[in-house]
A = this chain, B = another copy of it.
Amino acid sequence: MSRRLSITVCVIALLALTSGRVTPAAQAPPPFNFDTGVSPIEIVAPAIVQVLLQVTPANDAPIVLRHTTLAAHVWYDAIAPYHPTAIGVSSNLGRRPVHERTQRNKNIAMLYASYRLMNSLQPTFAATWRGMLTSVGLNPDDTSEDLTTAVGIGNAAGRHVVADRARDGMNQLGDEGGREFHRRPYADYTGYKPVNTPERLFDPSRWQPLVSTTGFGTFTSQQFITPQWGRTKAYSYTNPRRFNAPPPRDSRIENFAAYRAQAVDVLNAQAGLTDDQKMLAEFFDNKLNSLGFAAFFIIQTRNMSLDDLVIYDFLTNMAAFDGGIATWKEKAQFDAVRPVSAIRHLFRNRRIPAWGGPGKGTVQMKGEEWRSYLNTGNHPEYPSGSACFCAAHAQASRRFLGSDAFGLAVPAPAGSSVVEPGVTPASPTMVGPWNTFTDFENACASSRVLGGVHFQAAVDEGLALCRPIGDTAFEFLDRKVRGISQ
């Protein structure tokens, strides 16, 4: 009971943090109890979320998912020696006797493993990671790898995961391609070059980097985020060529009627957005709030054991991460145009009905001034990453839980919009409920069209591409949990 309560408190704290409404000082957590507490949720996740919010927008999916997946990965490898049958994904550290399989030992092992991982993932925040351990009375300088102790298991698990993942193809260290100096973590090394520039749409079928601004005079243009994600080593399958989306036929300008029709669909959706649709779009745009909260909701309402909580969190993150690999491979291959570029191209000097900006409702504007309700992401359009992540997450959940039942609904207070703060929604509303994971993934997919950042085909194919990856992720981890080393 106390565990469920502390989870609830921490989920609320996490949400408050991610929505940016409460300063960190306001949610000083209660002292951590190693015997009953859940260190991933109470200690590690809040520290990671705070760092992520400093370094990357919450909708930068590749970076966010890399962090959440690798964190769950070290938790899993750290508790495997205390599980009746599980073996780690990157390590096989033996098995501890029954009397050592305590929540205390698991928490200690997970905290040391997290410490090792985070110093590799985010070395500039070394002081934060030290504080994460010292705040619960652990010694960050204890580098023991004695596999008869929780400290040693944690350190060893962390080291193995780091060794397995630091060079997995995503260029975390910034030295891929032989770079020696001025390393650039996560920089492209595949040689991706957009055919369009921010100023000119040379090929209306292809992706165009967009110009963005903070609104105060400085403008920047996009760079395709981690084109190399499609070449990154997946957890649950060997060959990403297994997973393919059909070519985005309607995004080819030579199929003009279809090209125009799918653009008009997005245009019409944006011109008639309701408050509920806006809040739905915003909910799924923030990966920490949507996928993160979905997992926490299940963990809380299904009253999971610590082991199951770790396994389920790793499973759903891994499914999305492996889905992202297949999706990014296709994004790089098809390099498809975003709705905003297509709509400006088609209707440049024509008047069209459109969202007029925060609080302005629907107006008639020149097509060249059109923009999507959500910020359009920094990667090609097809297929949709968000639809993929939701489908992989949903299918992995169905397999793990043995049921499609879900039940999540999230309140949206009046004025809580981040796009139209203080204005939308006009009265308190609810995002959801989603009674099933099927409802959830379908809402997720359509939210991207409502948000103006995807065509319908991209979200349909995003779902189709990644549902099977929910299966591969489940089957991969299930074998590991049952102790089958391949």
Q: Are B223 and A217 in contact, CB atoms less than 8 angstroms apart?
A: no
Q: Which residue of chain B has its CB nearest to the CB of A171?
A: B217
Instruction: Tell me which residues across on chain B come within 8 A of A55, comparing CB atoms.
Output: 214-217
Residues of A187-219 contacting chain B, CB below 8 A: 187-188, 193-194, 197-200, 209, 211-219
Q: Which of A164-190 contact B (CB under 8 A)?
A: 179-182, 184-188
Say which residue of B57, B184, B200, B221 sits within 8 Å of A221 (CB atoms): B221
Inter-chain CA distance A454–B216, complex, in Å, is: 26
A60 part of interface (Cβ distance < 8 Å): yes
- The answer on a CB contact under 8 Å between A215 and B124 is yes
Interfacial chain B residues near A193, Cβ < 8 Å: 197, 199-200
* A60 lies within 8 A of B218 (CB): yes
Do A221 and B218 form a contact, CB below 8 Å, given A179-B369, A193-B200? no
Check if A363 is an interface residue, CB within 8 A of chain B: yes
Minimum Cβ distance to chain B for residue A385 (Å): 15
CB neighbours (8 Å) of A184 from chain B are 213, 215, 219
- Say which residue of B185, B212, B217, B226 sits within 8 Å of A62 (CB atoms): B217
Partner of A181 from B209, B211, B363 at Cβ < 8 Å: B363
Q: How many copies does the complex hold?
A: 2
Does B209 contact A221, Cβ atoms closer than 8 Å? Answer: yes
Give the interface segment out of A38-46, A353-361, A396-404: A353-361
Measured CB to CB, the closest approach of chain B to A423, in angstroms, equals 15
B369 A56 Cβ-Cβ under 8 A: no
Query: Is the pair A222, B223 in contact by a Cβ cutoff of 8 Å?
Result: no
Contact indicator B185/A217 (Cβ below 8 Å): yes
User: A378 near B223 (CB under 8 angstroms)?
Assistant: no
A56 and B185 contacting across the interface, CB-CB below 8 Å: no
* Interface hits, A332-354 → B, CB 8 Å: 354
Give Cα distance in the complex from A111 to B377, angstroms. Answer: 42
Q: Any chain B CB within 8 A of the CB of A419?
A: no
Q: Which of A420-469 contact B (CB under 8 A)?
A: none
Instruction: Report which of B57, B182, B223 forms a contact with A357, defined as CB distance below 8 A.
Output: B182
Instruction: Determine how close the nearest CB of chain B comes to the CB of A217; give it in whole angstroms.
Output: 4
Complex: how many Å from CA A124 to CA B181? 41
Contact A223 B225 (CB under 8 A): no
Contact of A218 with B56 at beta-carbon distance under 8 Å, contacts A179-B369, A193-B199, A198-B223 already known: yes
Query: Can you list 19 A-B pairs with a CB-CB distance of less than 8 A?
Result: A55-B216, A56-B214, A56-B216, A56-B218, A60-B218, A122-B216, A180-B366, A180-B369, A181-B360, A182-B371, A186-B219, A188-B219, A193-B197, A211-B223, A212-B220, A219-B223, A220-B222, A221-B221, A221-B222
5 further contact pairs, Cβ within 8 A, besides A186-B219, A188-B219, A217-B226: A55-B215, A63-B218, A182-B356, A220-B223, A221-B221
